[in-house]
Amino acid sequence: MSAAAAGLRGEHFLAGAAETEGGETFTAIDPHSGKAIGPSYAEATAAQVERACAAAAAAKLPLLATAPAQRAALLRRIADGLLELGDELLTCYCAETALPKGRAEAERGRTVGQLRLYADLVEAGSWVDARIDRADQQRQPMPKPDLRRMLVGIGPVVVFGASNFPLAYSVAGGDTASALAAGCPVIVKGHPAHPGTSELVGRVIHDAVRALGLPAGTFSLLHGRSHEVGTLLVQHPAIAAVGFTGSHRGGRALFDLAAARPEPIPVFAEMGSMNPVLILPRAMAARGAQIAAQLAASALLAGGQFCTSPGMVLWQRGAGDEAFVATLTEQLGGAAAAPTVHPSIKSGYDAAFAELGKLPVEVTARGAVGDGATAVCLTLLSASAAAVVANPRLRTEIYGPAVLTVGCGQRAELLQLAGSLHGHLTATVHGDGDDFAEFADVIEVLRSKVGRLLANGVPTGVEVCGAMVHGGPYPAATDARFSAVGPTAILRWARPVCWQDWPHELLPAELQDHNPLGIRRTIDGVVS
């Protein structure tokens, strides 16, 4: 049994019970060797999906009825449990993904931080945006009723584990943590690239739910490698919403399934992004080489497998861009081959390059060729603005370590290129002095297409805080009105409910006159 298998039993966690049964089996793959590691995991069956969904449906109202402090306790217990797993979790994570231990530790830290953030948020309670408009019996021509509104969890959420974030966007990741915080039961479909990591984390949640006496259907983890498990989950009438981080193809398929249901449900899919980087003339002239080095380091992080990885650079040709291109070529061409987290990432990367062969785009540098089963070499590409505007494929992400450079001629070309872009998670602008004012129109076009706009930095590194927006216009995400990161991510799983002239003692605590939870509320239009 390999290192990844320590403590693993190949278990689903199905509404309070651990079970290994199921259909066809699969294992994790060591990205270095391409060999199977760890125990076998059985594909969840339709009957198991049905049981998980029925249990989640049964847990819906009881879980909503729990006090915020109980849900906070659950999240904190999960956070503690992840840390208690210690090296077992880190070892399994690294074996399944070929990501380094430092990354595993950092991601665990972020995951634990997210769980605690949502615990604090739900315990503080003000996220429910309570609004009270009091009655006025004297109002003419009609008396005004008493109206009280707050956000309430929408019900069972299906979360799809992400291949590139086995902790922070998987079983106990941001989607799960924010949904549980909102009082929504969660069914996770584990990503088949890291079933062991999923199992370890799933057991922590399973144990925490039991220890706190919460309804069994509060949490399930189902394994699966085919699309069937996910399809059945998204189509199940008990499911109220879906969270997904991954490829455009996968996210769109889930969105389409959800939209075609008799009762459509929201899908929050965070998908691909090229994260365009615009370098303006003064910055290019003053520090082209330095920007190139900064950008190369960002593009190389995690083998280009961050959703915020910079995949496209645009600039107006002029002073400094030779040094910029030379440095970028040198740094990326000299890069070591990086293993991707799963063979499917490598095959997708290779397939994308096969497609590009037919398009007017030039490979200007390639990193070292690796010998691991999933290793891809970094690729630097160059195309003209006209080619990018004419070929949508060139404006579409290549997932993995690839950077497309587009040196533009006239200023108008830059504006046209920016206008041709679809939605992205981020756009970055490097500028000095009057650059920003001079290119205000181009920047405003970029702003209208992204969730986050950065100056003089790199898009990788997603701060978990209230001002963060991780999302953006399609196809960066399926609903630009919400962020997948930070406290506002909880808003994806809630809806407003209004109580009119309701018996005061039967109102939720958040809406009672004496404000027993001490939350911030808007009363007759005034926030206090």
Least separation in angstroms between residue 257's CB and its own copies is: 11
Least separation in angstroms between residue 201's CB and its own copies is: 24
Least separation in angstroms between residue 495's CB and its own copies is: 4
Least separation in angstroms between residue 168's CB and its own copies is: 15
In the range 423-482, which residues lie near its own copies by CB under 8 A?
423, 436-437, 444-445, 447-448, 450-457, 461, 463, 465-469, 471, 473-475, 478-482
In the range 261-280, which residues lie near its own copies by CB under 8 A?
263-266
In the range 41-60, which residues lie near its own copies by CB under 8 A?
60
d(CA 88, CA 466): 32
In the range 138-197, which residues lie near its own copies by CB under 8 A?
142, 144-145, 147-149, 154-155
Q: Does 491 bind its own copies (CB under 8 A)?
A: yes
| CB closer to its own copies, 201 vs 239 | 239
In the range 385-424, which residues lie near its own copies by CB under 8 A?
422-423
- In this structure, how many other beta carbons lie within 10 angstroms of the beta carbon of residue 7? 14
Q: Does 506 bind its own copies (CB under 8 A)?
A: yes
Q: Which residue has the tokens 């691991």?
A: 372
In the range 201-260, which residues lie near its own copies by CB under 8 A?
255-256, 259-260
- In this structure, how many other beta carbons lie within 10 angstroms of the beta carbon of residue 21? 12
Q: Write out the two tokens for 458.
A: 């790199």
CB burial string 100-127: b at 16+ within 10 A, e below: eeebbeebbebbbebbbbbbebbbebeb
Q: Does 282 bind its own copies (CB under 8 A)?
A: no
17, 46, 61, 326: residue in contact with its own copies (rule CB under 8 A): 61
Residue type, 521: R
| CB closer to its own copies, 264 vs 360 | 264
Q: Does 103 bind its own copies (CB under 8 A)?
A: no
Q: Of residues 53, 94, 307, 408, which has the active-site annotation?
A: 307
197, 218, 316, 483: residue in contact with its own copies (rule CB under 8 A): 483
CB burial string 363-399: b at 16+ within 10 A, e below: ebbebeebebbbbbbbbbbbbbbeebbebeebbebbb
- In DSSP terms, 36 is beta-bridged to 29
d(CA 267, CA 259): 9
| CB closer to its own copies, 363 vs 497 | 497
| CB closer to its own copies, 140 vs 357 | 140
**Edge-to-edge strands, sheet with 219-222:** 17-19, 12-14, 219-222, 186-189, 157-160, 241-245, 267-270
Q: Does 100 bind its own copies (CB under 8 A)?
A: no
Cα separations (Å) of 48 from 16, 291, 377?
13, 52, 40
Conformational region of residue 249, where left means phi above 0, alpha means psi within -120 to 50, and beta covers everything else: alpha
In the range 346-375, which residues lie near its own copies by CB under 8 A?
none
d(CA 324, CA 267): 40
Least separation in angstroms between residue 156's CB and its own copies is: 12
Q: Is 408 a catalytic residue?
A: no
The DSSP letter of residue 32 is T
Q: Of residues 11, 43, 107, 270, which has the active-site annotation?
A: 270
Least separation in angstroms between residue 501's CB and its own copies is: 5
| CB closer to its own copies, 13 vs 255 | 255
| CB closer to its own copies, 339 vs 471 | 471
The DSSP letter of residue 136 is B
In the range 111-140, which residues lie near its own copies by CB under 8 A?
126, 131-133
- For every residue of 155-209, DSSP letters joined together read S-EEEEPPSS-TTTTSTTSHHHHHHHHTT--EEEE--TT-HHHHHHHHHHHHHHH
Q: Is 94 a catalytic residue?
A: no
CA atoms within 13 A on the CB side of 166: 33
| CB closer to its own copies, 195 vs 251 | 251
Active-site residue set: 270, 307
